């Protein structure tokens, strides 16, 4: 048992899918896993373990933003021996060709956060995805005719910004979309030599103003989850 996770040793699999929303974790577990059981309810951050194609898989909510999610990344790795973390989340598009419900694989993560400024003084650290997980995700998507986009994403510390046009500079430099956790995940994974990948579904567009409903965000991301589970299998 860790500070924020009440699971007993051995109850969490070596591979964990991590949505921000704990209710999405519940939906994933109940929809995709066989015989899931809930191992965590601390602070309402639900966690489940079950099996998928005969392999043990866990699903753990992380909350929104890097300060929350990095607590769970750290404890899962250091207290429970997790070796693979696959974030499955929503994102806002920065490009007109990245549309609602598109699936995006985060090859790398730029950020507005100062999380790495304290680690790398006067330098920039560029956290990236694990290649093996990334390749498996790409292969599954191609084999199942799921159109994906891959590239650099922005992990922002703020959901609401003062200037609604700030995204245009990031877009000019090829950032596909914005979310709030990946730079933290890729940094922690690199530090502890574990594998990480972020797979995102576009839930809204800063270019067009379109957006999915809260219910659609919670339960409609099937392609993303199927890709994540395929990447998770040994």
C-alpha–C-alpha distance, residues 73 and 192, integer Å:
10
CB of 30 closer than 8 Å to CB of 8:
no
Task: Say which DSSP state 154 is in.
Answer: E
Q: Are β-strands 84-93 and 15-18 bridged in parallel, bridged antiparallel, or unpaired?
A: parallel
Q: What is the CB neighbour count within 10 angstroms for residue 120?
A: 9
CB of 25 closer than 8 Å to CB of 72:
no
204 belongs to the catalytic site: yes
Q: Between the CA of residue 67 and those of 70, 144, 180, what are the distances in Å?
A: 6, 35, 10
C-alpha–C-alpha distance, residues 92 and 96, integer Å:
11
- Which of 21, 102, 132, 204 is catalytic? The answer is 204
Catalytic residue list? 204
């Amino acid at each position: 048992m860790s500070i924020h996770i009440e699971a007993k040793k051995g109850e969490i699999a070596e591979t964990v899918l991590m949505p921000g929303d704990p209710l999405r974790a519940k939906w994933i577990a109940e929809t995709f896993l066989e015989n899931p059981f809930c191992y965590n309810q601390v602070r309402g951050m639900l966690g489940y373990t079950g099996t998928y194609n005969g392999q043990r898989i866990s699903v753990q909510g992380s909350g929104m933003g890097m300060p929350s999610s990095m607590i769970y990344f750290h404890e899962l790795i250091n207290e429970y021996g997790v070796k693979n973390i696959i974030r499955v989340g929503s994102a806002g598009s920065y490009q007109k060709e990245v549309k609602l419900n598109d699936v995006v694989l985060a090859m790398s993560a730029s950020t507005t956060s100062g999380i790495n400024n304290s680690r790398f003084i006067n330098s920039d650290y560029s956290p990236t995805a694990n290649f093996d997980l990334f390749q498996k995700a790409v292969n599954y998507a191609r084999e199942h005719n799921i159109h994906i986009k891959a590239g650099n994403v922005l992990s922002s510390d703020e959901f609401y910004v003062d200037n609604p046009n700030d995204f245009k500079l990031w877009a000019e430099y090829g950032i596909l979309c914005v979310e709030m956790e990946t730079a933290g995940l890729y940094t922690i994974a690199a530090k502890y030599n574990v594998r990480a990948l972020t797979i995102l579904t576009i839930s809204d567009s800063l270019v067009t103003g379109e957006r999915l409903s809260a219910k659609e965000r919670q339960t409609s991301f099937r392609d993303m989850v199927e890709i994540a589970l395929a990447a998770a299998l040994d």
